[in-house]
Amino acid sequence: MKILAKDMKRGIVTIQIQSREDCWHLYNVVERGDFLSASTYRSKKESTDRIRSKKEEKEKVFLKIQVEDKEFQKFTDRLRIRGKIVEGCEEIGAYHTFSIEPGMKITVEKEWKERHLRRLKDALKSHPKIAVVAMDDEMATIAKIHEYGVEEVATIHSHRPGKMYAHSYDEREYFGQVLSKLKEMRLPLAIVGPGFEKERFAVFAGNELRKFVVDTVSHPGMAGVYEALRRGVVERIMKENRVARETRIVERIMEYIAKNMPVAYGREEVERAVTLGAVEEMVILNSMLNEEEELIKKAEEMGAKLEIVNDWHEAGEKLASLGGLAAFLRYPLT
């Protein structure tokens, strides 16, 4: 993401979208009631009553809308934001949807809160994606770790017979298919798995892969990918990856609960802790930000740090099972 212009006195920021991760950050910044302005395409109005052709002609216009709803399409390059037109054409009050994608320039006008500014600052950093391959001698699952979630890219089977048979399988062909897919991605890599196949694959790959680490997890497949995230394997490659960081935060919550350490979870407990000024760090699902605006404001006024977890990956699902809210405490509640 690139900031092209900024006027914080008027609450106006113009940005250029450079990646799908930028679409995700914008999704978390823009809220109902905000104003967005951008060049877009809209059906051209006919000046006569003649019948329109089946394929309506589009014209490029500059519109300003007031946001009513939004949709982020995971693992695509598109964010859709819909609202009423307030400026830019004679159809004031009509609805228009901005399809926001890399390369687009857009102006956001809103009341900027501290969490919005933090998200904007975070979006300006470089956050390289990471690949994980979780493998054994039967299959290898390749996943891509985005800022907003985990995408399963491919599962490659070795077609090895059952272990009770002595028949061997073509390891080089199996490894070659996995390596070919990883080379297409050209990403830093974690090679994980329960047995020795991961080490043999690392030797087979030799110098053909970029930066990578090898580590042990209990399972191949997506279960192994998520285990690698929980254990911090991905963080060893790229400490700035958001999903890895969010996963470690939620794992720390689960550890605190298991060990009866100072932590609160669920709406009632967290609200009580905030009221008592006991919250050191508040953790909340991104989908609950609007409904818990007052609680967040109160927590931040009491000096609490805020962490936001996306609900589109395993860590978010775990936090949702705790009520979507948790807090690390300065001292235990009695």
Q: What's the one-letter identity of residue 181?
A: K
pLDDT of 168: 58
Helix (H, G, I), strand (E, B) or coil at 170: coil
Contact 250, 230 (CB under 8 A): no
pTM strictly above 0.75 = no
d(CA 157, CA 148): 28
pLDDT value, residue 48: 46
For 255-329, CATH number? 3.30.1330.30
Both structure tokens of 15: 């940005």
Residue 274 neighbours by CB under 8 Å, 6+ apart? 282, 295, 298, 299, 302, 304, 327
Same topology for domains 130-236 and 255-329, yes or no?
no
Asked if residue 242 lies in contact with residue 145, where contact means CB atoms within 8 angstroms, the answer is: no
As a whole number, mean pLDDT of residues 216-243 equals 86
Please state, for a pLDDT cut of 70, what percent of the chain lies above it: 91
Distance CA 120, CA 30 (A): 11
- Assigned CATH topology for domain 2-41+56-123: SH3 type barrels. (2.30.30)
How do residues 156-202 score in pLDDT, each as one tens digit? 999 876 555 545 568 899 999 999 999 999 898 999 999 999 999 99
Superfamily for 130-236? eRF1 domain 2 (3.30.420.60)
The yes-or-no verdict on residue 49 having pLDDT over 50 is: no
**107-117 pLDDT, tens per residue?**
999 999 888 99
Residue 5, pLDDT > 90, answer: yes
Provide the pLDDT confidence category of residue 245 given band limits of 50, 70 and 90: confident
Domain locations in the chain as residue ranges = 2-41+56-123, 130-236, 255-329
